[in-house]
Every structure is written in C-alpha cells, then in structure tokens.
C-alpha cells in the first residue's frame, strides 16, 4: 500500500495534466508570437506559460485531491492503478457511458463548426492545433482543471457551509456545480479568441460560451456519476471522432 495515497494521486494527475500543457504550449505559443507585433523571445514566452499553467494545474489537482472524496467523487482508475487493485475493472465501468457521451459531443462539435460565425472560421484557418494537443490538453488537462478542481470546489462550498457536511451533497448542489463549472469552462475560452486577434462580438460570445458549456455539462455529469476518467475519455473521444469526421467530410 502507498504510504501517502493522496500525494501519489496528486502527483500522477499533475503529471498527466502537464503533458497536455506542454503539448498545447509548444503548439500555440509559436503561432501567437508569429502574429504578434511584440518581440518576445519564444523561449521566454514558453517558459512563462508553462510555469503559469503548472501552478494553476497544481491548485486544481490539490483541490480535487482534498475535496472530492468527501463528496463521493473520485478518479477510480487512477486510484486503483496506484493501489494496484482492479484498475481495469474500474475502467470497464466507465467505457460505455464515456463512449456514448463522447460520440454525442463529437456530433455537436461537427455541427458547431458548420455554424461558426464567419470571423471564427477565419481565425480557425489561421491557427492550427494538431490532434495530439487536443487530446492531451482538451481531454486530460481541461478535465483536471474544470471538473476535478473547479467543479469539486463548487460542490464542496455549499455542502460545507449550507449543508454543514451532513451526508452526501444535495443533488441541487451537484447540479449547480456541474452547470457553473461548465459555464466558466465556456467563458474561459473567450480570452483565447482575443489572443488570436478575434473580436468578441455578440454572436462570437454566444457561440463560444454555448458551444463549450453544453459539452462541459456532459463531462460534468460523467465525472459525477462515473468518475474523472469517464469525463477524460469522453472529452478525448469527442475531439478524436470529430476530427476524423471532419477529415473525411472534407472540412479539414
């Protein structure tokens, strides 16, 4: 048995999340610098981005490790793998709901691409993010940040101060955490549009927020009902399946 299972779980999740941070940073920062009027050395920008993201990820990991268990939330596959007790069994329970949700979200992503405002379509043609960063950052890092860290904290707060830790958190608190985390997930994509040189017009804001909030709700429910890995698998599958569909559909 591990002497400090929470520390090992946190370290494992942080390492998994940092793989996505590195993949996205090395892909996006050079593209942003190439279009920026400011002369910032690429190495400085990359190191600064990695440090900032690493600290934010560490906070999210810590929040999830400390707060998730009392709420009945968890990362059962990671936990079982670290304790060497039934990781495959834990994973099998997550595969079907993750697959169904991932394919549904993939269909939504394909539809949203065709319905994107013209200014976003223009930005999309200028900035290219390969599949690997989408899988690693979108699938893993974002779920650790938004579900494991933020959603756990949003459920814990009313459970702690309104329910006074009595029993399992009320469904209303869980639903509130799912929806608010998803909404913040949608809002969190707006700075990326600005960084790429886009303008936050009303259609763009509505499109970005709604287009990310809806999948965020799906991933939040998966985390609540089946565990963090179900949300990770569904998110990654959504990116993979939508990329394949768009490729064979001639959109990429």
Report angle CA 120, 125, 131 to the nearest 5 degrees. Answer: 100
Average of per-residue pLDDT values in the chain: 93
| 3-state DSSP percent of the chain in helix, strand and coil, to 5 | 80, 0, 20
Give, rounded to a whole angstrom, the gap between the first and last alpha carbons of the chain. Answer: 48
Report angle CA 109, 112, 113 to the nearest 5 degrees. Answer: 90
Task: Tell me the pTM.
Answer: 0.94
Structure tokens given for 239: 């990116």
pLDDT recorded at residue 251: 55
DSSP-based three-state secondary structure for 123? helix
Looking up tokens 């990820």 gives 57
Contact status, residue 151 vs residue 220, Cβ threshold 8 Å = yes
pLDDT recorded at residue 235: 98
- Rounded Cα gap, residues 246 and 166, in angstroms: 48
Per-residue pLDDT tens for 86-125? 999 999 999 999 999 999 999 999 999 889 998 888 877 7
**What's the average model confidence in pLDDT over 132-149?**
97
Per-residue pLDDT tens for 156-187? 999 999 999 999 999 999 999 999 999 999 99
Per-residue pLDDT tens for 1-51? 457 889 999 999 999 999 999 999 999 999 888 877 677 888 999 999 999
Per-residue pLDDT tens for 222-249? 999 999 999 999 999 999 999 999 888 7
pLDDT recorded at residue 1: 47
Tell me which residue of 76, 56, 72, 58 sits closest to 5, measured CA to CA: 76
- Rounded Cα gap, residues 155 and 173, in angstroms: 6
Structure tokens given for 65: 């490790």
Half-sphere exposure of 147 (CA within 13 A, CB side): 33
**Dihedral through CA 6, CA 11, CA 15, CA 17, nearest 10?**
40
Burial of 159 (0-12, 13-18, 19+ CB in 10 A): buried
- Rounded Cα gap, residues 69 and 50, in angstroms: 29
Q: What is the DSSP letter of 218?
A: H
Per-residue pLDDT tens for 44-70? 999 999 999 999 999 999 999 999 999
Higher pLDDT, 37 or 77: 77
pLDDT recorded at residue 66: 97
pLDDT recorded at residue 243: 94
C-alpha 106, offset from chain centre: 15
Please state the domain extents for the chain. Answer: 5-248
pLDDT above 90 for 216: yes
Q: What is the DSSP letter of 116?
A: -
């Amino acid at each position: 048995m591990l002497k400090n299972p929470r520390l090992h779980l946190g370290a494992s999740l942080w390492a998994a999340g940092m793989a996505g941070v590195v993949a996205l940073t090395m892909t996006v920062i050079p593209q942003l610098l190439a279009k920026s009027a400011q002369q910032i050395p690429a190495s400085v920008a990359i190191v600064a981005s990695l440090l900032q993201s690493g600290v934010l990820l560490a906070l999210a990991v810590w929040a999830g490790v400390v707060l998730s268990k009392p709420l009945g939330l968890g990362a059962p596959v990671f936990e079982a793998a670290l304790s060497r007790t039934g990781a495959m069994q834990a994973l099998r329970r997550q595969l079907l709901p993750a697959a169904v949700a991932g394919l549904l979200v993939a269909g939504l992503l394909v539809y949203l691409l065709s319905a994107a405002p013209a200014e976003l379509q223009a930005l999309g043609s200028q900035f290219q993010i390969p599949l690997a960063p989408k899988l690693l950052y979108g699938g893993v890092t974002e779920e650790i940040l938004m579900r494991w860290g933020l959603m756990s904290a949003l459920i814990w707060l009313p459970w702690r101060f309104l329910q006074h830790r009595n029993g399992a958190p009320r469904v209303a608190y869980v639903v509130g955490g799912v929806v608010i985390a998803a909404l913040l997930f949608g809002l969190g994509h707006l700075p990326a549009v600005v960084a790429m040189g886009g303008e936050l017009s009303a259609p763009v804001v509505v499109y970005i927020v709604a287009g990310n909030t809806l999948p965020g709700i799906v991933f939040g429910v998966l985390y609540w009902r089946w565990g963090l890995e179900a949300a990770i698998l569904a998110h990654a599958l959504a990116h993979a399946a939508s990329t394949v569909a768009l490729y064979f559909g001639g959109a990429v």
